[in-house]
């Protein structure tokens, strides 16, 4: 996974209206239309989109055609549109991939709000202003159109409807995603967020959207959803089976990276007070209430996991070996879960040390539970399996309080929140190169 992002935190969100005139003619909104062999639909799309923005959008705007290595007359059409309308630009990439096109254009844009939509304009353009308004006002970091909201009106075939809803269920169950529609080709993002987020997104194809949203949500960024009216394009060239397969591979890759803490999501954090999660509870020091809740949930799941493992191991070995093996495996999982979910430590920094300290805590738990089993054996000789489980549950509950105190004071103290590496708060994020105002066509070759 990509991790080459700046260390400083994101600035506070501000309302773009107050400084819209400071950008020396730069547009407030840059709408990207990624295309591949769309010589027939490109011109009607751009003309309709341009007309809509000119009539309804109260800020300066730009339309950027991102050509994904088309082999037909699409590049020629894009250049002609760029020459005839000052608000239209064109980019040419020599490699295919919608994600690659969006990352390239968004990384070079000077507009504070970046959006994209599919060339078929399946989404009603009346949703465009509601999509970008929360980003302009400073309320949200990203915005997405949703075809699965209750008030959305959608016309599409049964197969696509089934695939979309099944994919949404997979994302919710595997990646705990809370957004409703990852695949709708109608999204927007603030530029300062894109500068930090896009280098972490590895996919260059159709999974790009999902990966971007999952990482943004896990980092605590605010995602605004807009119900849309959407009509399926019967001439769509998207290969459903191949796209679904690639998406499932992406889900596995991202899920694995999040599970092991391989992504420095702390670099997407907003300043203190901007994220509701950072606001303290009156009279409770250091987020103790939230940590207790998280620790209890993780502990309950870990205990169930431990008991299942103990029962499995007990079928082949004695109680002491079964207890030790079950405790070791569950302890590693417990430390990793508490590190990320309870104490909010992100990234790889200190992960090995935290696991080593967690094993010390595990040794204490092992001594308590093993001692309890030994005492039980000495007292009753051959206790039943149910009696063993009851004693182990009591011993684990006794060890839980001590485990939490050690985790909080020793393994994950306050100075480790968000990782161990220093992050100077006043280090500005590097700005991408601005698109020249007098250049209407750009050739980007061998972009990865």
Q: Do 45 and 122 meet the contact criterion of CB atoms below 8 Å apart?
A: no
pLDDT band of 278, cuts 50, 70, 90: very low
pLDDT in tens, 97-109: 999 999 999 999 9
Give residue 270's pLDDT.
66
Asked if 119 and 33 count as a contact pair (C-beta separation under 8 A), the reply is yes
**What is the tens place of the pLDDT at every residue in 290-347?**
788 888 888 888 888 888 888 888 888 888 888 888 888 888 888 888 888 788 776 6
CA end-to-end span of the chain: 14
Q: Helices (H), strands (E): how many in the chain?
A: 12, 10
Q: Quick one: pLDDT at residue 446?
A: 40
Cα angle 155, 64, 242; round to 5: 50
Catalytic residue of the set 118, 209, 247, 266: 209
pLDDT of 281 > 70? The answer is no
Q: How many residues does the chain have?
A: 448
- pLDDT at site 127: 95
Question: Under a CB-based contact definition with an 8 Å cutoff, are residues 341 and 277 in contact?
Answer: no
Give dist(CA 14, CA 289) in Å, integer: 31
Any idea which residue has 């930090």 for tokens?
196
Q: Any catalytic annotation for residue 414?
A: no
pLDDT-based confidence at residue 168 (cuts at 50, 70, 90): confident
- Please state the three-class secondary structure of 74-87 as a single string: HHHHHHHHHHHCCC
């Amino acid at each position: 996974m990509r991790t080459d992002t700046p260390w400083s935190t994101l600035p506070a969100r501000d309302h773009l209206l107050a400084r819209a005139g400071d950008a020396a003619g730069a547009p407030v909104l840059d709408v990207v239309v990624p295309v591949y062999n769309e010589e027939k639909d490109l011109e009607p799309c751009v003309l309709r989109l341009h007309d809509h923005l000119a009539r309804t959008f109260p800020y300066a705007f730009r339309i950027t055609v991102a050509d994904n290595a088309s082999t037909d007359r699409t590049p020629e059409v894009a250049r002609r549109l760029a020459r005839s309308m000052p608000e239209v630009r064109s980019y040419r990439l020599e490699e295919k991939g919608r994600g690659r096109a969006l990352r390239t254009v968004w990384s070079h844009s000077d507009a504070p709000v970046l959006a994209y939509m599919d060339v078929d304009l399946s989404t009603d353009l009346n949703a465009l202003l509601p999509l970008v308004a929360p980003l302009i006002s400073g309320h949200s970091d990203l915005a997405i159109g949703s075809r699965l909201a209750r008030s959305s009106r959608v016309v599409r075939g049964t197969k696509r409807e089934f695939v979309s809803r099944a994919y949404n269920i997979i994302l919710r169950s595997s990646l705990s995603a809370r957004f409703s529609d990852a695949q709708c080709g109608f999204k927007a993002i603030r530029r300062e967020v894109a500068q930090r987020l896009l280098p972490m997104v590895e996919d260059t194809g159709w999974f790009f959207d999902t990966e971007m949203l999952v990482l943004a949500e896990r980092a605590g960024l605010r995602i605004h959803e807009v119900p849309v009216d959407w009509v399926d394009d019967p001439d769509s060239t998207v290969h459903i089976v191949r796209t679904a397969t690639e998406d499932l591979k992406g889900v596995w890759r991202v899920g694995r990276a999040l599970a092991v803490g391989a992504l420095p999501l702390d670099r997407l954090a907003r300043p203190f007070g901007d994220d509701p999660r950072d606001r303290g509870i009156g009279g409770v020091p250091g987020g103790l209430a939230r940590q207790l809740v998280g620790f209890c949930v993780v502990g309950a799941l870990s205990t169930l996991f431990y008991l299942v493992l103990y029962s499995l191991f007990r079928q082949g070995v004695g109680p002491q070996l079964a207890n030790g093996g079950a405790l070791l495996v569950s302890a590693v999982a417990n430390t990793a879960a508490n590190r990320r979910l309870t104490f909010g430590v992100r990234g790889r920094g200190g992960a090995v040390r935290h696991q080593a300290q967690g094993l010390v805590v595990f040794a204490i738990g092992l001594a308590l539970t093993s001692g309890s089993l030994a005492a039980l054996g000495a007292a009753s000789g051959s206790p039943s399996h149910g009696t063993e489980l009851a004693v182990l549950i009591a011993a684990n509950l006794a060890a839980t309080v001590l485990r939490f105190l050690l985790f909080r004071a020793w393994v994950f103290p306050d100075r480790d929140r968000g990782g161990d590496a220093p992050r100077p708060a006043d280090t500005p994020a590097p700005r991408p190169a601005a698109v020249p105002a007098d250049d209407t066509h750009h050739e980007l070759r061998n972009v990865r």
